[in-house]
Structure 1
Amino acid sequence: MADRPSARAVLALVTDDFTELPHPARESRPDGPLGWPGYGAARARAAERTGERESVVCGTASVEGTRAVLVAFEFGFLGGSLGERTGDRLVAAYAHARAHRLPVVPLVATGGSRMQEGMLALTQLQRVARESALTREAGLPQIAVVRDPTTGGGWATLGAGADVVLALPGAQVGFAGSRVRPADADPAAYTAEAQVAAGAADALVRPEELRGTVVRWLRLLTRPSAEPVPPPPSLGRADLPATGWDAVRRARSPERPRAAAYLDACLTSRVALGGVRCGGTDPDGMLCGFGEREGRTVAYAAQTGTATRPAGYRTAARLVRLADRLGIPVLTLVDTPGAANDAEAERQGAGAAIADLFGAVAAARTPVTTLVVGEGGSGGALALAAPGNTWATPDSYFSVIAPELAAAILKRPPEEVEDTADRLRVRPQDLVELGVVRGVVGPADRTEEHPAD
């Protein structure tokens, strides 16, 4: 415990301007609500040792110019456990955040609920969950930093329940604390690194980088905008494909610019969302996060040219819903031969994941803009596309199914694949004429839309 930084020390990593909120008053009984022998003395020793009167310190701060409510756990005070008075402070902090339209940053280090207060301590999790839900409904972001250790109900509410979860390297993070796990449990599964790999946390952040990272997230998530994102200019060829098969070959070319190049070109900075919170990531197939474009925040979900896995669709749906709640416009980049169709993808719920993304895009109130930058392979690509605001580059195509598969299903010989591509009308200019996309976006020096042939 001695080598764990105090709540005040962690606050100093994030801000130099912290003002503690008033403490809610609650009648104090010598040994707590259950009359647990020695509990009052234990609290007194914890207060003397840490200089704190409770296991959490709540206040307001300016984090490099962005005002926020900060909630820092003091693990030295009875293991950072939650009791009734802890719950009182947390409820007051979240209520203050809503009243003053401030984001909330919990800096969590807790072993769970305080046993000396029994079920009265455990029910504080319900209070905290409600406050978090009300804050979410108010359109205010919550960015959690999970420290060592973050276990039990603190992880299951303030930590994993936040919009963005940042984790300190090497921290013990998991629902089960070290004393309640099975004897043969793999300790590596209960670490910050494991939670990031599983998609339950978004990123590992070293202590010396914590302030800068929190600053970036706060600035990006507190700038709503009602204006849609203009489609980025094409980074590839300017001429249109002559045939359907030519469009397919160009979209499949390894030299064609991919999602990362488009994001680097149109966003001056960006931070990534790391997963779906229910197990799984798809870092090779879907890039999701928030970035800055011309002083505005943009949420992005971009396919990378590979078959998109269920975790990729779920991460994109999470991104769209978060952006919608915060009033941030969304840019999606379509580029996939289709959804992953292997047996493992089916076991992971490919259909449900795609349906979830279709639903998130359809329900979004914030403007969504889509640019097809490469392959538009069937429903696995369409799920990411904005109805009525989808654009295409000259290097792209969009098809109900890959021409080779269409030919096979229609029992056409292989030599008719190219003709099948033409009949499917997959070229960008065909899509404009059909009304599937609004226009074909050229390079930056040629921004006019291509007319249909």
Structure 2
Amino acid sequence: MADRLSARAAIEAATSAFTELHAPERETAPEGPLGWEGYAASRARARERTGEQESVIYGEAEVEGRACVVLSFEFGFLGGSLGERTGDRLEAAYRAARERRLPLVSLIATGGSRMQEGMVALTQLQRVARQSTLLRSAGLPQIAVLRDPTTGGGWATLGAGADVVLALPGAQVGFAGSRVRPADADPAAYAAEGQLAAGAVDAVVPVGELRGVLGRWLGLLSGGTPDGPAPAEVPCALGGAGLPGTGWEAVSQARASSRPRAAAYLDAYFDFRLGVSGDRCGGVDPGMLCGFGERGGRTVAYAAQAGTATRPAGYRTAARLLRLADRLGVPVLTLVDTPGAANDAAAERAGQGAAIADCFAAVAGVGVPVTTLVIGEGGSGGALALASPGRTWVTPSSYFSVIAPELAAAILKRGVGAVRTTADQLGVRPQDLIRLGVARGLTSPTPPLP
């Protein structure tokens, strides 16, 4: 079990300055809306034990020089449960973030809705969902930090509904709390690390590193320009390869194990970067690198294929990244490098077609500029889903094809010996792509203007 920080200890770990704000307290019946016998005494004991008046405190804070609104749960106050007055405070925190045009950071530790208030407590989740939607519509980011435990409606609204989800090591995280799970349930599924593996959490961050990580995230997510960001610069070509003479040479250069991959391009392009992970639907694709980075003082979002067959979780993660960048006014860089979309039975069962369609729709639908560089293999629609129409560049060691030459030859009922000829006929070389209007130009060690 992870260490359980109090609400104020969590704020101290996460921020460098904090000024508490106070919402007007509503008048309520001593025993609550249900007249629950002993409820007033329970609350009095919770106040005496914790020094808090409710299960949430909130205020304006500074994190590594970045202003934000922070709310923090006190688990010692009736298990950090959500009641009507908790809802008032949560609503006030969201309202303060909107009015001040600041990001919201939620430091969550809750067991769920307060049973002593029945359905009145449960409906606070609707209030939270509404406030989260309003903040999202205002173009302001939300970051959740999952402490121990984060369960029930607090996880299903404040936690899982945030733009970036961080968790403390060993924290219990799950919709089902420890007392209501099936007896034979795998405990790893309800831990921060398990949720990271399942694509529901972006990173697990030790307490000692939390403030620094939050500061970098706040800087990146607040770095957009809603009135129209300039396109991301095209990265320099890496590796020093020359233009291929034939289609098969283009394919061979793109498939070479020595060719620089996405991680090398991202490291060379950004001053620093932070990744988002997972599709929020139970999947993670290590072959799709997504996140935000800083380049020359401004934020650029990225979605980069890492040379493997892209899985449904990869396309869904990229689509999530694109839509978040669009909402925050951040330009996007995509790097294309895949032999194609994964076509095994597991990928089909996971909704490969729908995932690719959603990625196409995300690229087509965002209002921020998307810049694409093909750095290796451009295998069919699985690669095109990440490419920007009209803003795609190619490197000398890349190719793009309607289908892999081997598969094209098989479909055309040609022998193995015809694969190289087929590659030439498909027009897959970088120079062919420029001539056909598929690519805007060739990048080099000195990149073209955006």
Taking structure 1 as the reference length, the TM-score comes to 0.97
SS in 1 for 2:253: helix
Contact persistence 1:286–1:308 (CA under 8 A) = yes
SS in 1 for 2:441: coil
Structure 2 letter corresponding to 1:258: R
> How far apart, in 1, do the equivalents of 2:194 and 2:277 lie?
12
Q: Which residue of 2 aligns with 1:338?
A: 340
Contact persistence 1:91–1:128 (CA under 8 A) = yes
Contact persistence 1:24–1:92 (CA under 8 A) = no
Q: Which residue of 1 aligns with 2:396?
A: 394
Q: Does 1:28 align with 2:31?
A: no
Structure 1 letter corresponding to 2:305: Q
> How far apart, in 1, do the equivalents of 2:102 and 2:438 lie?
41
> How far apart, in 2, do the equivalents of 1:192 and 1:233 lie?
37
Q: Does 1:253 align with 2:256?
A: yes
Q: Does 1:176 align with 2:179?
A: no
> How far apart, in 2, do the equivalents of 1:229 and 1:364 lie?
14
> How far apart, in 1, do the equivalents of 2:72 and 2:25 lie?
19
Shift, 1:33, TM fit: 1.5
Q: Which residue of 1 aligns with 2:91?
A: 91
Q: Which residue of 2 aligns with 1:235?
A: 238
Shift, 1:2, TM fit: 12
Superposed counterparts of 1:146-295, under 5 Å: 146-225=146-225, 226-283=229-286, 285-295=287-297
Match of 1:363 among 359, 362, 365: 365
> How far apart, in 2, do the equivalents of 1:368 and 1:352 lie?
21
Q: Which residue of 1 aligns with 2:350?
A: 348
- Segments of structure 1 that go 5 or more residues without pairing to the other structure are none
Q: Which residue of 2 aligns with 1:324?
A: 326
> How far apart, in 2, do the equivalents of 1:13 and 1:2 lie?
15
Deviates more, 1:23-32 or 1:139-148: 23-32
> How far apart, in 1, do the equivalents of 2:89 and 2:397 lie?
56
Deviates more, 1:235-244 or 1:307-316: 235-244
SS in 2 for 1:224: coil
Structure 2 letter corresponding to 1:5: L
Q: Does 1:409 align with 2:416?
A: no
Shift, 1:25, TM fit: 2.4
> How far apart, in 2, do the equivalents of 1:5 and 1:425 lie?
60
Structure 1 residue ranges (4+ consecutive) displaced by more than 3 angstroms after TM superposition: none
> How far apart, in 1, do the equivalents of 2:104 and 2:121 lie?
22
Distance verdict in 2 for CA 1:372–1:94, change over 3 Å: same
SS in 1 for 2:442: coil
> How far apart, in 2, do the equivalents of 1:140 and 1:227 lie?
20
Shift, 1:167, TM fit: 0.6
Structure 1 letter corresponding to 2:352: A
Structure 1 letter corresponding to 2:187: P
Superposed counterparts of 1:374-453, under 5 Å: 374-444=376-446, 447=447
Structure 1 letter corresponding to 2:98: R
- Segments of structure 2 that go 5 or more residues without pairing to the other structure are none
Contact persistence 1:15–1:211 (CA under 8 A) = yes
Shift, 1:7, TM fit: 0.4
> How far apart, in 2, do the equivalents of 1:304 and 1:223 lie?
26
Deviates more, 1:191-200 or 1:408-417: 408-417
> How far apart, in 2, do the equivalents of 1:3 and 1:229 lie?
42
Deviates more, 1:66-75 or 1:231-240: 231-240
Structure 2 letter corresponding to 1:56: V
SS in 1 for 2:57: strand
Deviates more, 1:111-120 or 1:175-184: 175-184
Q: Percent identity between the aligned chains?
A: 73
Shift, 1:34, TM fit: 1.3
Structure 1 letter corresponding to 2:441: G
SS in 1 for 2:376: strand
> How far apart, in 2, do the equivalents of 1:257 and 1:183 lie?
48
Shift, 1:4, TM fit: 2.1
Shift, 1:3, TM fit: 5.7
> How far apart, in 2, do the equivalents of 1:396 and 1:16 lie?
47
Distance verdict in 2 for CA 1:151–1:410, change over 3 Å: same
SS in 1 for 2:94: helix
Shift, 1:238, TM fit: 4.8
Shift, 1:24, TM fit: 2.1
Shift, 1:289, TM fit: 0.6
Shift, 1:290, TM fit: 0.6
Contact persistence 1:245–1:421 (CA under 8 A) = yes
Q: Which residue of 2 aligns with 1:70?
A: 70
SS in 2 for 1:180: coil
Contact persistence 1:72–1:107 (CA under 8 A) = yes
> How far apart, in 2, do the equivalents of 1:312 and 1:448 lie?
29
Contact persistence 1:407–1:417 (CA under 8 A) = yes
> How far apart, in 2, do the equivalents of 1:405 and 1:188 lie?
41
Shift, 1:236, TM fit: 2.0
Distance verdict in 2 for CA 1:322–1:448, change over 3 Å: closer
Contact persistence 2:150–2:173 (CA under 8 A) = yes
> How far apart, in 1, do the equivalents of 2:303 and 2:23 lie?
42
> How far apart, in 2, do the equivalents of 1:76 and 1:149 lie?
11
Give a deviation string over 1:87-120, Cα, whole Å, max 9, x none: 0010011011111111000000000000000000
Deviates more, 1:238-247 or 1:165-174: 238-247
> How far apart, in 2, do the equivalents of 1:440 and 1:172 lie?
49
Shift, 1:28, TM fit: 2.8
Q: Which residue of 2 aligns with 1:121?
A: 121
Distance verdict in 2 for CA 1:3–1:440, change over 3 Å: closer
Contact persistence 2:98–2:135 (CA under 8 A) = yes
Contact persistence 2:2–2:171 (CA under 8 A) = no
| RMSD between aligned residues | 1.3
Q: Does 1:10 align with 2:17?
A: no
> How far apart, in 1, do the equivalents of 2:82 and 2:448 lie?
60
SS in 2 for 1:61: strand
Q: Which residue of 2 aligns with 1:55?
A: 55
Shift, 1:73, TM fit: 0.1
Instruction: State the number of aligned residues.
Output: 446
